[in-house]
Amino acid sequence: MSTRIPKIQHLLASVLQSKMRAVHANIGAIMLRYEQRKTLRIATSRGLPSEVHDQAEVRLGEGVAGKVAELGDAVIVDDIEKDARFAKTNDPKYGTGSFICMPVRVGDRIIGVINLAKKEDASTTPPTPRPFSPTDLQFLSALLTYIGYAVDNARLLQEAQESAAKVQVVVDDLRATQAQLVRGETLSAIGKLASGMAHHLNNLFAVILGRIETLRTKVAEPEAQRYLEIVQRAALDGAEVVRRVQRFSRVQPVSRTMPVDLNQLAQEVLELTRPRWHNEALLRQIRIDTALDLGNIRRVAGEYAPLREVLLNLVLNAIDAMPDGGQLGVRTWADSEGVHCDVSDAGTGMSDEVRQRALDPFFTTKGPKSTGLGLSVTYGIIQRHNGKLEIDSAPGRGTTVRITLPAVEVAVPAPNRPVTMPLLPSDLRVLLVDDEPEVRGALADMIGISGHTAFQAAGGKEALAWLDAGQPVDLVLTDLGMPGMTGADVARAVRARWPQVRLGLMTGWDETEGLVNDTSAIVDFVIVKPFNLQALLSAYAAGPKAA
């Protein structure tokens, strides 16, 4: 109680003290009514043993104080010991001597009582009672009116403060919800933008990369090679940006989950980033220590690659935040809520403003070399996994980003897939089906280098006609979104009539996931544009999909 109503407590304590002094009482207590429980409880006391203070709770209408609080008539007793009313009551024990219990009123409401007692004078034999005098009574009743209002005001004030605090909580909640809504809106707006844009950009990058790859085999001059390499890298970076936007703006929940071990993931990510936190740090003559604290956790239900990207983004941010070195910590543990993973750094930390905007797409404080997509991608991935992401950060104190993911129901051992490097094919005959001549041409030329052959078809009909004519083809590589026959139609037709021909599906990203999933069931592999020759050959070499 005392922590909840400090103000009333102080007020009452000083009121009690002054009243006691005025009437020479040695024991005193102010009791307040608790309407819900229909009781009186001591709000402040002096001279009472603390156990009496803490326990005393009197039902309204019972005992001396309970009756006074209910009926409003003061009770004055010359000697408690001799008064029948104190014989069997719950009233706090005020020892021997004279006693007074008066109601404390606010208008016609009784809000509590004040109890005062005077000990007998022990110096005489027998000890003489020291009753309250008539002036004591007058004095007290005059003051009690004032106490009532003071107490009531304090109570009102406190209630007002409590409601203000409650309002603040509601406002904070609203603000957080609003921020989340805005973020959701931003994400879905960017999602729409991304799907429209990605198709075009990916096709453009496919043209650029295809052409560069071809050119690089034709140009001998070292300087030209170097320029081509720069352009190629820029185009690859551009394609990566598009992919990142696509990834975070994809709002569907993860479809095919598998049990993912966050502990394994954390170790893998620290290994992957070792060049950044170890080698590079050494070069810059700083030291970044890693502290891995892996708990006993269940696997989470998720997709491996996106979750690895989550940890990768968080670890890279942590490293970026420690330009002078420091400790990078990754901790995992589990509780009833799920599996948690903290990535923490002892770095610069974030100001309130940065923390609030950190999840916004393209928000970065790191200048043009950064896209500002790391955390928004991360946030999107965690959302799709039905997880939670929290940022705890303050300038100078460092940052901890915590992700929480639902654990899988039963522990399932992760499949132990052997990693084999398939032999890349040579002399591949590829039938390229794409309605966009620029893209088709660039891809055909890219395939045409290093001994492979590409035939081009502008659509499904043309492709089937080519196969009908008995032209030898190892692989039909078809675009998905085409007017007339779609890639899915092409795939079905080829599967039905030329089962020995391998099928690959190229997709931009704007295709609906369902369509890609349906078609991917028919084809041997799906490859996302833009891609390079190496990626295509590897996908082909992975072999036909088992039916």
Ligand X SMILES: Nc1ncnc2c1ncn2[C@@H]1O[C@H](COP(=O)(O)OP(=O)(O)OP(=O)(O)O)[C@@H](O)[C@H]1O
Which parts of this chain interact with ligand X (CB under 6 A)?
Answer: 313, 317-318, 320-321, 345, 347-350, 354, 358, 363-366, 370-376, 399
Nearer to ligand X, 129 or 326 (CB): 326
Q: Which conformational region is residue 54 in: left (phi greater than 0), alpha (psi within -120 to 50 degrees), or beta?
A: alpha
CB of 308 to ligand X, least distance (A): 15
CB of 345 to Mg ion, least distance (A): 12
CB of 396 to Mg ion, least distance (A): 20
| Distances, alpha carbon 516 to alpha carbons 232, 316, 486, 513, in Å | 28, 32, 11, 5
CB of 183 to ligand X, least distance (A): 13
Nearer to ligand X, 374 or 508 (CB): 374
CB of 370 to Mg ion, least distance (A): 6
CB of 190 to ligand X, least distance (A): 13
- Residue of the chain from 28, 63, 374, 380 that contacts Mg ion (CB under 5 A): 374
Nearer to ligand X, 381 or 480 (CB): 381
Nearer to ligand X, 363 or 498 (CB): 363
CA–CA separation, 496 and 392 (whole Å): 57
CA–CA separation, 28 and 14 (whole Å): 12
- Give yes or no for residue 317 binding Mg ion (CB under 5 A): yes
- Give yes or no for residue 63 binding Mg ion (CB under 5 A): no
Nearer to ligand X, 164 or 193 (CB): 193
Nearer to ligand X, 203 or 364 (CB): 364
CB of 298 to ligand X, least distance (A): 27
Q: Are strands 57-59 and 258-260 parallel, antiparallel or unpaired?
A: unpaired
Q: CB under 5 A: which stretch of 184-192, 334-342, 369-377, 383-391 binds Mg ion?
A: 369-377
E strands present in 35-155: 39-46, 57-59, 75-77, 98-106, 109-118
Sheet of strand 98-106: strand arrangement: 57-59, 39-46, 27-34, 109-118, 98-106, 75-77
What type of residue sits at position 337?
E
Q: Are 359 and 186 in contact (CB under 8 A)?
A: no
Under DSSP, is residue 497 helix (H, G, I), strand (E, B) or coil?
A: helix
> Quick one: what does residue 8 bind among ligand X, Mg ion, none, with the CB cut-off 5 to 8 Å set by partner type?
none
> Quick one: what does residue 544 bind among Mg ion, ligand X, none, with the CB cut-off 5 to 8 Å set by partner type?
none
**Nearest residue relative to Mg ion (C-beta):** 374
- Give yes or no for residue 378 binding Mg ion (CB under 5 A): no
Written as six digits, the tokens of 215 are: 């050119």
> Quick one: what does residue 354 bind among ligand X, Mg ion, none, with the CB cut-off 5 to 8 Å set by partner type?
ligand X
> Quick one: what does residue 364 bind among ligand X, Mg ion, none, with the CB cut-off 5 to 8 Å set by partner type?
ligand X
Written as six digits, the tokens of 532 are: 């390079």
**Nearest residue relative to ligand X (C-beta):** 374
Chain positions 180 to 239 lying near Mg ion, rule: CB under 5 A, are none
Written as six digits, the tokens of 16 are: 């009690």
Planar angle of CA 203, 206, 211, nearest 5 degrees: 135
> Quick one: what does residue 203 bind among ligand X, Mg ion, none, with the CB cut-off 5 to 8 Å set by partner type?
none
Picking from 393, 298, 295, 306, the residue whose alpha carbon sits closest to that of residue 349 is 393
Planar angle of CA 244, 246, 248, nearest 5 degrees: 70
CB of 374 to Mg ion, least distance (A): 3
Only one residue has tokens 């890279």, namely: 316
Q: Per-residue b/e over 313-323, b at no fewer than 16 CB within 10 Å?
A: bbbbbbbbbbe
Nearer to ligand X, 329 or 460 (CB): 329
Q: CB under 5 A: which stretch of 171-179, 274-282, 339-347, 374-382 binds Mg ion?
A: 374-382
CB of 332 to ligand X, least distance (A): 18
Nearer to Mg ion, 259 or 374 (CB): 374
> Quick one: what does residue 350 bind among Mg ion, ligand X, none, with the CB cut-off 5 to 8 Å set by partner type?
ligand X
How many CB atoms lie under 10 A from the CB of residue 229?
12
What type of residue sits at position 248?
F
Burial of 84 (0-12, 13-18, 19+ CB in 10 A): exposed
Nearer to Mg ion, 104 or 314 (CB): 314
Written as six digits, the tokens of 224 are: 């030209």
> Quick one: what does residue 109 bind among Mg ion, ligand X, none, with the CB cut-off 5 to 8 Å set by partner type?
none
Q: Are 301 and 259 in contact (CB under 8 A)?
A: yes
Nearer to ligand X, 262 or 401 (CB): 401
CB of 356 to ligand X, least distance (A): 10
Q: Which residues bind Mg ion (CB under 5 A)?
A: 317, 374
